[in-house]
Chain A
Amino acid sequence: MSATNIKADGKVNFWAFANPSNFMKLSGALLPWVTAGAVLCLAVGLGWSLFGTPPAFDHGEAVKILFVHVPSAMLAINTYFLMMIASLIGLIRRHPVSHLIAKAAAPIGAGFTIIAIVTGALWGQPGWGTWWVWDARLTSILVMLFFYMGYIAMWNAVEDPVKAAELAAILCLVGSVFAFLSRYAVLFFATLHQGATLSLDQEQNIADVYYVPLLIMIAGFYLLFIALLLIGVRTEIRARRIRAMRLAEA
């Protein structure tokens, strides 16, 4: 961290990290640690989930799908929230890195959404007797996937990156309705999907034998997400530099 990041009153200037070269420095230092953490958590979590958990009385051995379904569904929705916040900051404060964070997050979020939908279908068949239902939660997460794809397509379709960033950001904000719906649909609508597995303000409604390995898997998924995001933003910053250099040459 350079001295310019610390203000006279001793407070850290968060906005300094919106500067691309500061971001490159910080992310380069963080990346190996985050990656190592992701590998460790996923290895321990995977072994524990597959070989250290008993069958559940209501789901049988199908309960093992929990350990990939819940973390990917969490990341699917939270990545969209991250994109929403980054897009808002990008639109309001016009920080270049902010839009690039949203851009780099999109394919990762889309990937997690696909995992959540596929594993959900594979759990729905033995659990509910159907692969898919058009209920509020499932439908809104599918629509969210379309917004992820539309967001990625918008960046690719618009030639001018400044304009592409703004249009994609607006599309992202429109789609955020469905990210909120995906998260909270279980509360408002009658749906086949059960309530939240984890929440901060309610009692734990999952037994410890599943809870601990689930938390480790969630940590692994989050760390993997952060590692992929840092790599993606670093790539975008470099791609932006390439574009600037080519424009200067021309």
Chain B
Amino acid sequence: MAEYFALEGYGIYVWPSYGATALVLAGLIIWALRRNASVRAELAELEARNARRRKDAA
């Protein structure tokens, strides 16, 4: 097992490569989902407020 992870000594280059890739991709995914959630929530709140206002006006 340890021998596999050493990858003939290239492990010190291979694993950081996969690690950096995973880190950046995870960052992109988390950022996209969080921003999406906050914008959706803000829009829902605005629409609810507008609906209330229309109801009050009627």
Contacts and interface: CB of A to CB of B under 8 A. Distances in A.
A245 B17 contact: no
B35 interface: yes
A69 interface: yes
A100 interface: no
Main secondary structure of the interface of B (DSSP, over half): helix
Nearest to A55: B8
Interface residues of B, number: 29
A234 B13 contact: no
Nearest to B21: A68
Given A107-B31, A115-B24, A65 B46 contact: no
A242 B24 contact: no
Given A231-B36, A238-B43, A60 B8 contact: yes
Interface string A221-248: 0001000100110110011011001100
Contact of A235 (B9, B13, B24, B35): B35
A114 B28 CA distance: 12
Contact of B17 (A65, A107, A246): A65
A138 interface: no
A118 interface: yes
Nearest to B13: A122
A223 to B, nearest CB: 12
Interface in A111-169: 111-112, 114-115, 118-119, 122-123, 125-126
Nearest to A224: B25
A132 to B, nearest CB: 14
B11 A61 contact: yes
A111 B25 contact: yes
Given A61-B11, A245-B46, A119 B17 contact: yes
Contacts of A196: none
Given A231-B33, A232-B32, A119 B40 contact: no
Contacts of A34: none
Interface bin, chain A: 20 to 34
Contacts of B42: 242
Interface string A74-113: 0000000000000000000000000000000001100110
A245 B25 contact: no
Contact of A126 (B13, B25, B35, B40): B13
A72 interface: yes
Contact of B7 (A64, A114, A115): A64
Contacts of B9: 61
A156 to B, nearest CB: 13
A69 B10 CA distance: 15
Interface string B1-17: 00000011111011011
A235 B36 contact: yes
Interface string B28-56: 11011101100110110011001000000
A65 B42 CA distance: 42
